[in-house]
Amino acid sequence: MTTAQELAQQAAAAIAEQSGIAHHDVAVVLGSGWNAAADAFPITAEMPYEQLPGFSASAVAGHSGNLRSVRVGDKNVLLYSGRTHYYEGRGVAAVVHGVRTAAAAGCSMLVLTNGCGGLNPEWAPGTPVLICDHLNLTATTPLVGADFVDLTEVYSRRLRDLALTVDPTLDEGVYAQFPGPQYETPAEVRMAGILGADLVGMSTVLEAIAAKSAGLEILGMSLVTNAAAGLTGEALHHGEVLQAGKDAASRLGGLLKGILEAM
């Protein structure tokens, strides 16, 4: 039996060998709409997921499925292009394997990004929002056993303040992870709002829980790619998600670069 921790250590060893970088400092998970934001960083190494223990090729359009080691300022940064989603049915351990691998590779900080639906009508498609807290609506957890990890400050106040120095116009919001893959009904969006959500999506929360358990300092950023269901009267399409990301790429690239340099 290989434990989740052993598999993460094997993947971290493969990353060190394939990249020639023994220790990485920060990991970034690039969600829907965020991929182009990271294209400007000079690449040290590119590793397809298929060549790394415990990873598998990505299934979703707009998630390309590889890991890059890039240099930003004086830091070695792991860029995950594409993530395993809970709705793929590969289990929660597969969902958080990248996060555990980042910790095993030496990272002390993690940037989790996603594309999501927004409940605040002021957030037009293409608006980035800092995640300040979350609601786990998946009815599951990546943690097994008596791991009573404290979630009082999952999304680091320090890192949010740092992001705000890069872009003082950023708003903050509570992100709710639904299991997916279906989008919400309008009634579910109203429910999420009553529960305290500002953002609805299908990722990030399970990864943040595993990351917190692994001792990582976390920055969460959502790109609002669409108004949540029922807010506009329009139907939701994955196409608009991809378009919002393309349109926001240069702003997100500057934001990500500024944040990574300041970390």
Residue number with CB closer to ligand 8IG (208 or 216): 208
Rounded to the nearest whole angstrom, what is the least distance from the CB of residue 177 to ligand 8IG in the complex? Answer: 8
- Tell me the two tokens of residue 261: 């340099």
C-alpha closest to that of 32 among 248, 192, 189: 248
Looking at the Cβ atoms of 208 and 241, the one nearer to ligand 8IG is 241
Q: Which of 122, 153, 184, 240 is catalytic?
A: 184
How do strand 66-72 and strand 75-81 relate by DSSP bridges?
antiparallel
Q: Count Cα atoms within 13 angstroms, Cβ side, for 224.
A: 24
Q: Report, in angstroms and rounded to the nearest whole number, the Rg of the chain calculated over CA atoms.
A: 17
Task: Give min distance, CB of 192 to ligand 8IG, in A.
Answer: 9
Q: How far is the CB of 100 from ligand 8IG (least distance, A)?
A: 24
Q: How far is the CB of 150 from ligand 8IG (least distance, A)?
A: 27
Q: Quick count: other Cβ atoms within 10 Å of Cβ 133?
A: 18
Query: CB 202 → ligand 8IG: shortest distance, Å?
Result: 5
Rounded CA gap, 239 and 231, in Å? Answer: 18
Question: 3-class DSSP state for residue 76?
Answer: strand
Interstrand relation of 217-227 and 26-30 (parallel, antiparallel or unpaired): unpaired
Find, among 101, 118, 123, 88, the residue nearest to 29 by Cα.
101
Q: Is 184 a catalytic residue?
A: yes
Give the interface with ligand 8IG as residue ranges (CB under 6 A): 32, 115-117, 178, 180, 183-184, 200-202, 225-226, 228, 236, 241
User: CB-based burial of residue 152 (10 Å sphere; 0-12 exposed, 13-18 middle, 19+ buried)?
Assistant: exposed
Cα angle vertex 212, ends 51, 178, to 5°?
80
What residue number has its CB nearest to ligand 8IG? 117
Q: Which residues are catalytic?
A: 184
